[in-house]
Amino acid sequence: MKFTVPVLVFLPIIILSCSTQKKTTSSSDYDNSLLEQLPHHIKLTWESDPATTQAVCWRTRQGQVESKLQYTKATPSPFFEDKIITVEAQSDTFTADDGTWNYHAVNLENLDPNTRYSYRVGNNDYWSEWAEFTTATGENEPFKFLYFGDVQRFIFSKGSRAIRQAVLHNPDAKFMVFAGDLIHRSAVNIENWGEFFPAGGWIFENYPTIATPGNHEHKWYPDDKTTYEKITPIWNHSFAFPQNGPEGMKEETYYVDYNNIRVISLNLVFWSKHKETILKWTEERLKEFKGDWVIMTHHYNMESAARNRTPGIRYPELKELYEKYEVPLVLTGHEHLYARGQMDGVFPVYAVSVAGPWMNAIRFEEWMDRAGTSLQLFQEIYVSPESLRYVSRTIMGDVYDEFAISKKADGTLNYQERPDLGPESLVPPQNFEDRYDKELVESYESDKEAYLNRDK
């Protein structure tokens, strides 16, 4: 009862205050009722040089066939309207399970290196918020980027944790690498792309993405779970990646040169069909690169690591090529667990990671120096002219794995694992017993013991 008087006293004042504000001027150019109409799934990628270009892709509703991008050099002042440049997007209409959408893309060119720009996308009354990107310096200087394994399932509810925590821990990361299986069903938006882009949300608007396609980005016939057709059209509509790959594999197999490193994405889903082409193209890219570090990313690791998968080297010719050119680091996914190691004791270091909640049990292999499961992880890669430092963290921010590769003056590579890493998380995933053959379940503990007691 004692609150009665103050409420009666203040209520007219509050109403007066609100109504006064409304009559004088609007304090927002954001109309809540337009929310559904706004451009969305906005993301940054590179189609060409990160120092002078920036690609932006987004989606609008069926009625908004045309869309534009506006940009200008970023300023602390909000009064930059007179400096805005407007660019028409390239647009395509595509009908998916959640309706008909217009997909748009712009590749901004002739930008200044090491410069922050503001941009927004939309048309008429329907504009996104302003977001920022910064062009690469083009110089050989230290920076870091992020790497994620499969997000794939329960993307919005739990996969989002990995993307968001990674960026909250690393706001100064320059870009994100996704090693395939971003989603579960390639041509489906509901539960898939419709969750993936909101899972990253504004992060995709501010941090460029490099993604390599996994098996799940390819069409999955409902009746035949082993047959894949070509990559989903949603891949090409959603991203603008470089078209510098072999014919028929553009924007799937490609490379991005960021400052002193080259990131090479290989689509290995049709390896047996395109083996010779991929090998020839990759060798040319390795041979010609004059920068400091090449980082390979493809969805499948050199050897499987999930307990219910067939052991053996998947790509012997690629392994040979990597060893010949001393590729330092290969970033992969697909296994739904964590594994890291060198094969036959030589470079490259192979990393397998997982971002989303779908987990597999480990098949402990000789090449593994570090393994893990029942963990959502993200990775930080610190680059300098002299070294690569790799840190894998749980989404709690704890270091799960760490090593460094350094280069001596004569070009020789040196590898050093962090000596004080904590115990490995080798807890098999929930319902492991129901998903695996009885013998794989029964042998798990003894295999784990043998792994933990191995000579290192």
Contact footprint for Fe ion (CB under 5 A) = 181, 214-215, 334
Q: Residue 448 CB, nearest distance to Fe ion (Å)?
A: 24
Chain residue whose CB lies nearest Fe ion: 334
The identity of residue 423, as a single letter, is P
Q: Residue 179 CB, nearest distance to Fe ion (Å)?
A: 9
Q: Which is nearer to Fe ion, 285 or 334 (CB)?
A: 334
SS3 58: strand
Q: Residue 335 CB, nearest distance to Fe ion (Å)?
A: 8
Q: Which is nearer to Fe ion, 104 or 334 (CB)?
A: 334
| Separation CA 435–CA 187 (nearest Å) | 26
Q: Residue 217 CB, nearest distance to Fe ion (Å)?
A: 9
Question: Which CA distances in Å does 145 have to 72, 177, 258, 263?
Answer: 25, 8, 10, 11
Q: Residue 162 CB, nearest distance to Fe ion (Å)?
A: 16
Q: Residue 237 CB, nearest distance to Fe ion (Å)?
A: 21
- Residue owning tokens 């506006």: 70
Q: Shortest CA distance to 45 belongs to which of 204, 245, 195, 233?
A: 204
Q: Which is nearer to Fe ion, 208 or 214 (CB)?
A: 214
The answer to whether the beta carbons of residues 100 and 65 sit under 8 Å apart is no
Q: Which is nearer to Fe ion, 231 or 388 (CB)?
A: 231
Q: Residue 318 CB, nearest distance to Fe ion (Å)?
A: 17
| Separation CA 24–CA 271 (nearest Å) | 65
The answer to whether the beta carbons of residues 295 and 335 sit under 8 Å apart is no
Q: Which is nearer to Fe ion, 184 or 389 (CB)?
A: 184
| Separation CA 175–CA 153 (nearest Å) | 23
CB-facing half-sphere around the CA of 347: CA atoms within 13 A:
20
Tokens read off for 174: 């320059």
| Separation CA 50–CA 260 (nearest Å) | 12
Q: Which is nearer to Fe ion, 241 or 300 (CB)?
A: 300
Q: Shortest CA distance to 424 belongs to which of 390, 381, 375, 376?
A: 375
- Residue owning tokens 């790497």: 147
Q: Which is nearer to Fe ion, 214 or 328 (CB)?
A: 214
